[in-house]
Amino acid sequence: MTTSVLVLNSGSSSVKFGLFDISADAPALLCKGLLDEHEAKPRLVVTSPAGDDLFETRRTASGSDSGHLFADVLGFIEDRFGDHLLRAVGHRIVHGGPDYSGPAELTDDVYAKLAALTPLAPLHQPRCLAPVHIIRAMKPDLTQIACFDTAFHHGMTPPASRFAIPRRYDERGIRRYGFHGLSFEYVAGRLAQIAPELVAKRTVIAHLGNGASLCALRDGRSIDTTMGLTPLDGLVMGTRCGTIDPGVLLYLQQHENMPVEDVQHLLYHESGLLGVSGLSADMRTLLASGSVAAHEAVELFVLRAAQQIAMMATTLGGLDCLVFTGGIGEHAKEIRSAIGERLGWLGVRIDAAANDAAHERVSGDGDTVDVFVIPTNEELMIARHCVTALRTVKS
């Protein structure tokens, strides 16, 4: 019988998913979809690998909870792919803490350890873990596997992994973990296919989207990254602040009398592009706007990205390759161009025609730094990790 895995990639208001055939050497996408709880009538949309509509349903307010939507997904899979054995469900889990450097079966003990990490990713961790309970209630014997955004950075060592605080806190796990690891891992593998001669070179991958971070890469390994203990650090993001003077947080608490919960909400939900523009967290909206505040938000996003690409280059001792990925990195040619202009002193040149056409390579022949646009695929990366984990379970 053909076997498959269901991959769930939970975001702040929706869940992307993919069903993969794992009978052959490499996972093959059977269908993909979205569980969108953000709309007035939450919906499930399923499409073929080519993007053709296969199924859609909407839920009324009385039946709009996530459990109903997940039941719809499993029902569709059973109806459409009943000849496949659903072997496992793979979940993107944002924070794996110090213990997990690879995929792990979601036993009760593992789940408890991951739930305890919620203070380090309060926006993401509960959303990632919620489907585990729902699926378990529906299919208690179905294997569930955690795949971690932090795992790719697990080999980072001092000084890149350290904060400049007393060592006793590092020993308690207060260190820089990094995130977006599933995306970076996929893009690193794709780059090795496209340009194997660059694998040993000094590469920075820029995952730019509503969440955004950079990874300094050499020999296929993460050497440094811009996010730290939590997904708040580093670049300006859709609603998150990125790097900020910690004195600002002390001031808000001590002199604005803001409770910790309000500060947390401010940093995760009201800052970034939304906070600076006062208009939107969506880069497309800001680029189309003529307002001064929207322009300033875009400028700040570009400046921080360029500054921190240079910071990653410092860790690497130079820059040979720059890769753009993520929603903004893949689709916003204006942002790629503006970042390239700021990094001209570092040897970055972006060919205007190639950039406008979103070619895979957007640098010119003979340029000092090779620049690529590589779409990410976190769901496929999770499916690959599930295959690895299932082999371990069998053995």
Q: Which residues are catalytic?
A: 149
From the number of C-beta atoms within 10 Å of its C-beta (0-12, 13-18, 19+), residue 240 rates as: buried
From the number of C-beta atoms within 10 Å of its C-beta (0-12, 13-18, 19+), residue 233 rates as: buried
CA separation for the pair 211, 236 (Å, rounded): 8
CA 193 to centroid of chain Cα atoms: 21
CA separation for the pair 333, 79 (Å, rounded): 41
The residues, any chain, with a CB within 8 Å of residue 346's CB and separated by 6 or more, are 309, 310, 313, 319, 369
Residue 386: its H or E element: helix 378-394
CA separation for the pair 69, 379 (Å, rounded): 19
Residue matched to tokens 């499916």: 383
